[in-house]
A and B are shown apart, each in its own frame.
Chain A
Amino acid sequence: MIPEFGHYALILALCVAIIQGVLPLLGAHQGRREWILLARPAAQSVFLLLAIAFFNLGWSFYTNDFSVLYVAEHSNSQMPLIYRLGAVWGGHEGSLLLWVFLLSTWTFLVAQLSKSLDEFMVARVIGVLGLVLTGLLLFVLLTSNPFERLLPAAQDGRSLNPLLQDPGLVFHPPMLYMGYVGFSVAFAFAIASLLSGRLDAAWARWSRPWATAAWVFLTLGIALGSWWAYYELGWGGWWFWDPVENASFIPWLVGTALLHSLAVTEKRGGFKSWTVLLAITAFSLSLLGTFLVRSGVLTSVHAFATDPKRGIFILIFLVLVVGSSLTLYAWRAPKSTLGGKFSLTSRETFILLGNVFLVVSAASVLLGTLYPLLIDALHLGKISVGPPYFNSVFVPIMVPLLVLMGIGPWTSWKNSDLLAVIKRLWIAALAAVIAAVLIPFVMGEFTWLSSLGFLLAFWVIASGVMQIIRQAKIGKATRSFMGMQCAHFGITVFVIGVTMVGAYQEEKDVRMLAGESVTVGGYQIQLQGVSAVPGPNYKAMQGTFLLSRNGTLEATMYPEKRSYFSSTMPMTEAAINVGLTRDIYVSLGEELDDKAWAVRVYYKPFVDWIWAGCLLMGLGGVLAMSDKRYRMKLRKAAV
């Protein structure tokens, strides 16, 4: 009965979502207060109903109810409990349920935290979210019902793809989806303000913390995914420009542009129509990402079930949501007023420039991702676009962006004395040049590319440090200022990590017998032996390696090669010795003849800085959101 309850809750949620999507919007349009007041209770009920549905699916996994098709396909009784629960979103149907559940969670939060906002605005925002929710719930119920029964029930389940049986699965999708879906709130605020014709600074003030929260989740979600790929897939890379990775990265780039543009709209009333467009675009790209992943129009390592019926449904949904939003935009945005005037040397100009670079980079990634599809649709053949395209197009756009990041925060709104700023920044420039020369020298090899990476990173760091000192002196180091600096430092830490790994990583593939050793990056790795070890739902060959440096033992490492009972494919479980300035990565390959093993070892300097940088970015977002001055302003504006 439990799955039926879940199914029933899902259907009820659809009914209430329709009410949530229609009545408050009509009420706000016609000024009918009783309909406006429906918005909050409707949002709360949908949240409750979807929580029940979600919990029931989780229960079916927990109790190994293999009469539910989705459970039978993605779980089996031997799987550890944590992965059985993670498997709730390990497949298509469940991950969509997660999507709608999180959307209703965001809506619920809006309903709870908007007590001080104008009732009309709240009704419109919740109404727009209700419409989006309705479309997605229809999608779930009509094409991807997770509660479908399998009669007679299966003896045991088919199990989850071994690649997904990892703690990464438990955290990565919810985090990523929180970000994806979170842009729906900024989107709903934008649509609500277009509908009301009140495209003003207050709107930006309201949506800013929501957009920041979504951005934080997306940042952390992408970072988790990248880290997961790094340690689980056993290839030692951290980003593959896979279509699905890109699908999450493109909204991130646009979302980053949105955060900056929102600042201008809030503080100066400028860029209104541009900010609205970014808010619409960020969410549209999240939907497009869902379409790309779920419809199977692109081949990808992530492509799960592909079913053209689903693709058509999402495409129609996409057309309705994005098409109507952009039509509304074309109709209403021209009426928005211009903000305060600003000169070429103002902060507005720098943010605009940064925005242009971010949007261009997002467009170039989008083009690369869709290019195979475009070429195919034009009957020009089929091609695949690989990392070389993305690296050669994307990286150069980031160079001017980092240069701007060192100057932009120094400028003031409206107009600033750029000459004075540049005069002050010579110290930062000097520090950057010294770092650019010195670090490659210390690392033992000079390459222009790595030197450029350090130059840019230290340029931003030095400029940031100088600015923090200045702001602290005059007592103006507010949380939102520190949040901005923290996020920018995150970028530099990330850039340092990428540069170090790109230029100085060492990789060796060797054939090893027990007792033999190999040297990478000044470390000796010795194979002790390989033995068979059992796992809960797999058996593994486990290697024992001694990691030492200059004769002192630092760690013992145990890479595994697993064969899951449910799958024919062996899985590589690399062993990673993590350090602040380097990772040592050992993965066990095939058993060769006469007891020798193929072994791959990596020395990856500063690789963890890549994810540490992302963490700092996320932390910066959290700091900015928690700014007291900012929250007081929010309340004042709402009265």
Chain B
Amino acid sequence: MKAKFLIPLLLFMVLVGFLAVGLNRDPQEIPSPLVGKQAPAFELPQLADPKKNFSPESMKGQPWILNVWASWCVACREEHPVLVELGKLQVAPIIGLDYKDKREDAMTMLALQGNPYLLSAFDANGRVGIDYGVYGVPETYVIDKAGVIRFKHIGPITMAVLNQKILPLLGELK
């Protein structure tokens, strides 16, 4: 048996190792080190009006939702109608964090698909995303009156997540 003919098998074994580990990790829901901690502070220009800034500090005193999104993100479009529904319920303000996006693309998407956000902060180079440990877009955080992150969801929120997790949690936080 020549060694070089074993290479494909070895490569495959390495791949299987990764797949096996990957299988035990749910890509949608990962315990975040941030849950239970103060939401990282930042100051970013707003999407609609670059002259105005937004900082999480200004949201203190009420529970709110931070949703990381981008116009280039396919899953965000899937999630969008759910957010619009949530916005209509008026239970808590939704702040968008528009992640590594182009301003005009983002504005377009909101104009076309509806804007559930009170406002969106514009994170052009993803710096704030790094502070929040954004793995992939979309991600959603529920932050309480004191500015502590209480819940984090990775991937699009579905009606089920909304009804079973987010809405009950917001009810508690009120």
Contact = CB atoms under 8 A, between A and B. Distances in A.
Nearest to B2: A334
A297 B22 CA distance: 6
A280 B22 CA distance: 24
A493 interface: no
Contact of A318 (B16, B18, B24, B108): B16
Contact of B19 (A315, A372, A598): A315
Interface string B138-174: 0000000000000000110001000000000000000
B118 interface: no
A534 to B, nearest CB: 21
Contacts of B8: 277, 280-281, 326, 329-330
B126 to A, nearest CB: 11
A428 to B, nearest CB: 38
A298 B135 CA distance: 13
A377 to B, nearest CB: 4
A273 interface: yes
B133 A381 contact: yes
B137 A377 contact: no
A301 B136 contact: no
Given A329-B9, A382-B30, A291 B24 contact: no
A295 interface: yes
Contact of B5 (A273, A319, A377): A273
Nearest to A366: B15
B113 A589 contact: yes
B9 A299 contact: no
Q: How large is the interface on A (under 10, 10 to 19, 20 to 34, 35 or more residues)?
A: 35 or more
A587 B113 CA distance: 11
Contacts of A281: 8
A381 B12 contact: no
Contact of B78 (A295, A301, A312, A386): A301
A568 B9 contact: no
Contact of B9 (A296, A327, A384, A569): A327
Contacts of A331: 1
B77 A299 contact: no
Nearest to B107: A509
Contacts of B113: 589-590
A637 interface: no
B116 to A, nearest CB: 11
A219 B108 CA distance: 34
A570 interface: yes
B17 to A, nearest CB: 8
Given A235-B77, A301-B74, A330-B5, A589 B111 contact: yes
Given A333-B5, A383-B136, 16 more contacts: A277-B8, A299-B136, A315-B20, A327-B9, A331-B1, A370-B18, A372-B27, A372-B136, A373-B22, A376-B22, A377-B17, A384-B136, A509-B108, A587-B112, A590-B111, A600-B108
14 contacts: A297-B23, A299-B27, A315-B19, A315-B20, A326-B12, A330-B8, A376-B25, A377-B25, A384-B135, A384-B137, A509-B111, A568-B81, A568-B85, A589-B111
Pairs of residues from A and B, 5 with the lowest C-beta to C-beta distance, nearest first = A382-B135, A384-B136, A589-B112, A377-B21, A326-B9
